[in-house]
Amino acid sequence: MRISVSLFTAFLLIFSISCAQEPDNQVSTPTKVPFTAELLIDEMQIPWGIAFLPDGGLLVTEKSGELIHFLNGQKTKVSNIPEIYVRGQGGFMDVALHPDYENNGWIYFSYSSNEGEGKGGNTAISRAKLKDNSLTNNELIYKGSPNTSKGQHFGSRIVFDKKGYLYFSIGDRGARDENPQNIKKDGGKIYRLNADGSIPADNPFVGKEEAKTAIYSYGHRNPQGLTVHPETDAVWNHEHGPRGGDEINIVEKGANFGWPVITYGINYSGTTITDKTKMNGMEQPIHYWVPSIAPSGMAFVTTDSYDGWKGSLLVGSLAFQYLERLEMDGSKVISRERLLDGLGRVRDVRQGPDGLIYVAVEGKGVYKLTPKE
């Protein structure tokens, strides 16, 4: 069953208005932009995730259920992709290569799937190999349960750390009082797997009765950003708050990040969710946004290509339609800068192997930020 277009459009309108109640005067606009934005891949509606192939090609997921292979200026649709359950915020989401892709060829995907029991769908993780613009060796390695017809909060990002562990996120699936604080249920979690889908023996809830042993941390709302710190190898995430209270967190083994018991946000209607922003045993974000920027996509800058950017964190804003650069001092945000202002809803941001920044913008496509001479 598909959600009514009018109802979903109304939901998006309310969400956008709620997230953007007032301008954010803590973020500056640069007087001199050190790049030009070149539209590299055009005519995409919701380019959700980007991965870079060793031959210079790119893989880009389209939320509606397509995988685009871009090489030498040509776009090709990849065939034999997983069956995608497109509903609300769910669809074809992230894509990532195995760290040893050149030797094993594995590509990983996150998407909403209706496999399993019950009506509706939930977030799934699979892997496959690419041959002649078709996926082969498809394997489902994790599927959130149970299915639900709710259309919100699927997550979902994928990232590998330097030890080869696979991390991914699933949002609370619109069941904030049921899923995020319950380790026996999927939803509102960051997960960790071995690359073949098996559970690492030292995952924090291995041996806990009825626990979902893939869980690495819990108490999350809807994480749509995951990245690995280039120096510490710690996994960082950001997640959508409700109205206000979007967060950046450093993911820790077994940690509880508090949703919905603590939050810096309120309901979209303006009513209170909780009067608590802190509680013993629950982690504090290293940064939070009020009002919400609706963050999506996340990347550390390790290149010297852009003057003064090295060490910064880049985050896309869906609500305010810009790319945010956060200047960091360790884990502290010391300044914020607004880039690509008004270009469109920034869905993903990545640093490519060429040291350049690539930005996926809804209704446009994928931009390459070319440094000015």
Nearest one of 362, 286, 291, 356 to 326, comparing CA atoms: 286
Instruction: Name the catalytic one among 69, 98, 153, 287.
Output: 153
One DSSP character per residue, 271-332 reads --S-S-S--TTSPPPSEEESS---EEEEEE---SSSTTTTT-EEEEETTTTEEEEEEEETTE
Residue type, 118: G
Q: How many other C-beta atoms can be found within 10 angstroms of the C-beta atom of residue 21?
A: 13
Cross-strand partners of 343: none
User: Could you give the CA distance from residue 167 to residue 224 in angstroms, rounded to a whole number?
Assistant: 12
CA distance 40 to 194: 34
DSSP-derived secondary structure letter, 251 = -
> Are 79 and 135 a contacting pair, CB within 8 Å?
yes
The count of other CB atoms within 10 Å of the CB of residue 16 is: 15
- Cβ atoms of residues 178 and 185 within 8 Å: yes
Burial class, 274, CB count within 10 angstroms (exposed 0-12 / middle 13-18 / buried 19+): middle
Partners of 335 in the β-ladder: 327
Residue 156: C-alpha distances to residues 170, 172, 179, 187, 297 (Å) = 5, 11, 16, 11, 10
- Nearest-CA neighbor of 7 among 66, 97, 62, 87? 87
Q: Is 153 a catalytic residue?
A: yes
Rounded to whole angstroms, how far apart are CA atoms 108 and 125? Answer: 7
Contacts of 325 (CB under 8 A, 6+ apart): 301, 309, 312, 313, 314, 336, 337, 339
Catalytic residue numbers read 153
